[in-house]
Amino acid sequence: DVKVTQSSRYLVKRTGEKVFLECVQDMDHENMFWYRQDPGLGLRLIYFSYDVKMKEKGDIPEGYSVSREKKERFSLILESASTNQTSMYLCASRSPVNTEAFFGQGTRLTVV
């Protein structure tokens, strides 16, 4: 069975902290994505990666960075967390050719 796993379901961090959100998939997918979801704004793409060590900015990359050192793992980094980064973060993966995407269970991050 397909599996995308995010490291934490709920996370509370302080303003200014460096935050790592981890995502691991077991399907040998090339493409991986990080989204944030906020009420009324839908899913917004932060970054995506179409292969190891490759990354592309999405619609809202400011304040975030990513790392893809291994095919199965895609990390989202908040260099200095701010309260406006409080959100639900969703990781997804898929193989590259017009196939469905699979999601992790989401991480609800609160920055205080």
Chain residues that interact with another protein, rule: CB under 8 A: 31, 33, 35, 40-43, 45, 48, 50, 56, 59, 90, 92, 94, 96, 98-106
Which lies closer to another protein via its Cβ, residue 61 or residue 102?
102
Q: Give least dist CB 8 to another protein, A.
A: 14
* Residue 81 or 92 having the CB closest to another protein: 92
Residue 84: alpha-carbon gap to chain centroid: 16
Beta carbon nearer to another protein, 3 or 18: 3
